[in-house]
A and B are shown apart, each in its own frame.
Chain A
Amino acid sequence: MAVKKSSTKRSATTRLVREAVQKYQGDQDMLIQILLDLQSTLGWLPRETLEDVSRQLQVPLTRVYQIATYYKAFSLAPRGRHIIKVCLGTACQVRGSPRLLDTICTMLNLRPNETSKDMRFTLETVNCLGCCAMGPVIVVDRTYYGKPSTSDLKKILEAAK
């Protein structure tokens, strides 16, 4: 039974990979774009997926891994349901983002790049989101928040179940 379950799961990812590869007509130059698409659908890149990409696109697995580990957009481990990004760009830094990050770390009991045990949150830092005017900025999933106070933070985090 367990075997069957994992094989259906396996064929589902294979299909996903096939679709992503076909979208770019199997162009090997598009490896990064293909991985970006898969990352956004799956939330992370499991080993089997990377193997599928390597096989279907006919590029060595080492190159797939090289890309997947080099760029920050890719994650090789499952991530939480909600991704919290704290901007540490210069403008946010000047306006107190390190303190904001500390407060969030304390609230969630997580350090940057960690995922909570219940898979609810992943905490990440970024080096500039390009909305410097409203710093310090945090992004929860795709919603931006500028200058959140401690009580705002509590509300924001509670709302993300």
Chain B
Amino acid sequence: MVGKRLSSPQELEQLRKHILSRRHTEQTVITVCTGTACQTYGSLHVFQALTEEIKRQGLAASVVTAKPTGCHGFCEKGPVIVIFPQEICYVKVKLADVPEIVSKTLAQGEIIDRLLYLDPVTGQKIARDPEIPFYKNQMRLLLGNNRYINPRDIEDYIALGGYHALCKALFQMTPEQVLQEIKKSNLRGRGGGGFPTGIKWETTRNAPGEPKYVIVNCDEGDPGAYMDRSLMEGNPHSVLEGLIIGAYAIGSHQGFIYVRQEYPIACENTVEAIKQAEEYGLLGENILGSGFDFSVKIHCGAGAFVSGESTALMSAIEGKVGEPKMKYIHTAVSGIKGKPSCLNNVETWATVPLIINKGAEWFASIGTERSKGTKIFSLVGKVNNTGLVEVPMGMTLRRLIYDIGGGIPGGKKFKAVQTGGPSGGVIPEQYLDTPIDFDELTRLGSMMGSGGMVVMDEDTCMVDTARFFINFCCEESCGKCIPCREGLRILREILTAICEGRGRDEDIEAIEEIARVMQDASLCALGTTAANPVLTTLRYFRSEYEAHIKEKRCPARACKRLTSYYIVPEKCTACMICLRNCPTGAIHGAKNIVHWIEQEKCIKCNTCFEVCPPRFHAVTRISGEPLPPPPSPNTPVLRQKRGE
């Protein structure tokens, strides 16, 4: 492994050709998603078994190779396997399937029907992954390469044309031209704020003071969002390449990547990527012989949501407590150690090489008038196809949730979609045809945020959702400024009281007043936006608040204190399933004897409701009305004869 260091763009091109020549076009490559979600389903074991099985069955490495990749995005169906060049996609693969995959598909090209994705709409099996509706309706500019790349192998990235944009920037463009290209593309920051990236870069470039710093923000704390994690885990070099190009345009020679501590695989892959990029002469001194020097350090976060805020993150990089500061001067001018510091989100940096390669006009042709390009959303919650979804800006929420997400599971009714994390809000059904872009979502009282989309169905209580977010912010608030610290605490008290049936008529007014003060007077964005989830739920679901306060009723039957579980004696078939699963032994009955719940023992864990077979539907939740008395002891089951 001597002499890997590349000292000119020509050498990079030669290396690319060399890598491609080593890989035969007729070679079958089987890729196994080893993103965190698929790992949970055992994808690492599947990968290992595949490698061993390929060897055992005597398939030569020149014919078949197995490769671990980053997240493909279709997390619901993990572990996901894709076999190239045919692009055959197998979902929910188990260890036991491995020998068959090797002997049939890899050795003979035969497709195994049972492992294919079943389209629930048409009832048809789909063999190739580009044809699966989940993928077909997306535009995967950033995420698409994850399925080809082993994140621990820089050569995979180079083989796909990686670092070509860097060559173009360093050798064919001046830093001013790179900057102009980004400005012309109208790229806006993907971390939530939507600030024009080019203008931010220009500010740092023109700010007095040396050295200048560039920073990757991978402190992805928004609950319900994990696209930064998947990019950083699955394609770290795309982020690095964007960062180096940005540093060149800004005139920075030192970069930082701040990764959240909760993402160990992202940390490891980034460390490895930096090491390999240094070995290949793509980082460090005199990059590719251009005379441009740039190095990168990685910082692991230590667990604080507010550290994702730009000033707080920079404090953390300085080894201090990550508390936000007042932005009298923007961090682009005075950031780390008072020096100009340009901070962008993972997705923003990863978009940069695309713009340099394909041009600003191409990028600006995608999306809406004021929001360009694609955006990755994590579509989660009560939706059939959960996973990461990349679509052009301007797609409607309805298409995203129904065409790509496959709608709501279990025939339930859609209630709302929560966007933008704890700073965002909920969007109800009547706005499902809104095109997704920065400004449209803000107009609805929510925001783009980092791109989390949590779908909620009729079983989700909106007051409880608001309470959840306020509780989250309350725990994560650094406590430095009073409106945020105290405002959140009081909001939490009021909302908890409402959820527990202790709400008072004047509470809604109090909530609105506190929210206003927090918006006006908090120090950082955490405080000014923390009330958004409460305000949007109040705006669109006021009747739910009123039902909790006036009728002591939770319409979604989710708030524990306001809900009771009850087994309808006429429907109970005494199948013993709920009785056996109850963790507290609150359910009484026996074979052929109708079951009933001892309310004093019930902890409302929902287990009985979940396990009661849908064809019986005997366990019900009751809220806001008196509980019927339990059946008299030893009531025998009412058996219906067949056909009745």
A and B found bound together: yes
Question: Interface code A109-121, partner B: CB below 8 Å = 1, 0 otherwise?
Answer: 0000000000000
In the bound assembly, the distance between CA atoms of A157 and B299 in angstroms comes to 33
Give min CB distance, A67 to chain B, whole Å.
Answer: 6
Question: Interface code B334-345, partner A: CB below 8 Å = 1, 0 otherwise?
Answer: 000000000000
In the bound assembly, the distance between CA atoms of A69 and B114 in angstroms comes to 52
Query: Which single member of B318, B323, B380, B469 contacts A91 (CB below 8 Å)?
Result: B380
Give min CB distance, B426 to chain A, whole Å.
Answer: 11
CB <8 Å contact, A133 and B75: yes
Number of interface residues of B (CB under 8 A): 63
CB <8 Å contact, A95 and B382: yes
Is residue B456 within 8 Å, beta carbon to beta carbon, of the partner chain?
A: yes
Residues B402-455 near A (CB distance < 8 A) = 418, 421, 452, 454-455
Give min CB distance, B276 to chain A, whole Å.
Answer: 20
Question: Interface code A17-43, partner B: CB below 8 Å = 1, 0 otherwise?
Answer: 000000000011111110110000000
Given the interface contacts A102-B603, A103-B607, A145-B40, does A90 sit within 8 Å of B382 by beta carbon? no
Query: Which single member of B36, B225, B302, B317 contacts A71 (CB below 8 Å)?
Result: B302
Pairs A-B, 4 closest by C-beta atoms: A133-B75, A89-B223, A72-B303, A71-B302
Which residues in B have their C-beta under 8 angstroms from that of A74? 302
Query: Which single member of A93, A103, A150 contacts B468 (CB below 8 Å)?
Result: A93
Which chain B residue has the least Cβ–Cβ distance from A144?
B40
Question: Interface code B365-399, partner A: CB below 8 Å = 1, 0 otherwise?
Answer: 00000000000001011100011000000000000
In the bound assembly, the distance between CA atoms of A30 and B317 in angstroms comes to 8
CB <8 Å contact, A99 and B605: yes
Which residues in B have their C-beta under 8 angstroms from that of A144? 36, 39-40
Which chain A residue has the least Cβ–Cβ distance from B478?
A70
Given the interface contacts A36-B300, A73-B303, A127-B475, does A133 sit within 8 Å of B380 by beta carbon? yes
Binding site for A on B (CB under 8 A): 36-37, 39-41, 75-76, 78, 220-226, 229, 261-264, 299-305, 316-323, 378, 380-382, 386-387, 418, 421, 452, 454-456, 460, 465, 468-469, 472, 475-476, 478, 581, 583-584, 603-607
CB <8 Å contact, A127 and B472: yes
CB <8 Å contact, B476 and A134: no
Which chain A residue has the least Cβ–Cβ distance from B300?
A36
Which residues in B have their C-beta under 8 angstroms from that of A96? 606
In the bound assembly, the distance between CA atoms of A134 and B603 in angstroms comes to 24
Which residues in B have their C-beta under 8 angstroms from that of A99? 604-607
Residues A24-78 near B (CB distance < 8 A) = 27-33, 35-36, 63, 66-67, 70-74
Which residues in A have their C-beta under 8 angstroms from that of B476? 127
CB <8 Å contact, B226 and A134: no
Give min CB distance, A107 to chain B, whole Å.
Answer: 7
CB <8 Å contact, A133 and B302: no
CB <8 Å contact, B299 and A150: no
Query: Which single member of A32, A71, A90, A146 contacts B224 (CB below 8 Å)?
Result: A90
Given the interface contacts A31-B319, A67-B321, does A90 sit within 8 Å of B305 by beta carbon? no
In the bound assembly, the distance between CA atoms of A35 and B452 in angstroms comes to 31
Which residues in A have their C-beta under 8 angstroms from that of B583? 103, 106-107, 150
CB <8 Å contact, B261 and A131: no
Is residue A83 within 8 Å, beta carbon to beta carbon, of the partner chain?
A: no
CB <8 Å contact, B262 and A33: no
Is residue A142 within 8 Å, beta carbon to beta carbon, of the partner chain?
A: yes
Which chain B residue has the least Cβ–Cβ distance from A67?
B321
Which residues in B have their C-beta under 8 angstroms from that of A72? 302-304
Which chain A residue has the least Cβ–Cβ distance from B226?
A130
CB <8 Å contact, A33 and B263: no
CB <8 Å contact, B300 and A33: yes
In the bound assembly, the distance between CA atoms of A47 and B557 in angstroms comes to 48
Give min CB distance, A126 to chain B, whole Å.
Answer: 7
